[in-house]
Amino acid sequence: AQGKIIDALAECVELISQLYAEYSLQLPGMQLFWNQLAKAEKQHAAVLRTMHRLLDKGNIFFNIGRFSHEAITETDAMIRKEYEHAQDRVVTKKYALDVAMKIESSLLDGHFYEIVTSDAPEFQIITKRLASDTSRHLCMLQDAVSGCGPEDR
């Protein structure tokens, strides 16, 4: 069950990366910004897959059951919907930033990296990095939102 949750999280984060990459194509003035976020999310997915390898080695994760596969699936569906929306329509800077803020806030508000613990020493390093990165992404997005004028809406 733990492996299934970790895999679902990794897939969800990979999808976030794809969404941000799509935003980079749609918003050429922010291409570097969105590509940085997409690359970071791809790295996060790889880190989550590392967690699965720790599980396979016999390490135990505590409190991971507080995150249901169904809740992750719902988040995945929301991100997939936004990805399809971005592929089908022109997205504004404000819309893309609002969606990304919602996504990053939900990852942060879920406190995944604070709630889940493990007996694997490297897990603490991994979770500190992911929590820090997610918080930094939120700050980057907030900075970009504050720079949005009426012409970006």
Kindly report the length of the chain. Answer: 153
Q: What is the number of other CB atoms lying within 10 angstroms of the CB of residue 26? A: 19
- pLDDT of 24 reads 97
- pLDDT of 4 reads 87
- pLDDT of 112 reads 66
Q: Which two tokens stand for residue 153?
A: 């809406």
The one-digit pLDDT tens for each residue of the chain (153 residues) are 788 888 888 899 999 999 999 999 999 999 999 999 999 999 989 988 888 888 888 888 787 777 777 888 888 999 999 999 999 999 999 999 999 998 888 765 556 666 777 888 888 787 777 777 777 877 888 888 786 544 444
- pLDDT of 20 reads 97
Threshold 0.95, pTM exceeds:
no
20: exposed, middle or buried (C-beta count within 10 Å: 0-12, 13-18, 19+)?
buried
Question: Diameter of the chain by CA atoms?
Answer: 54
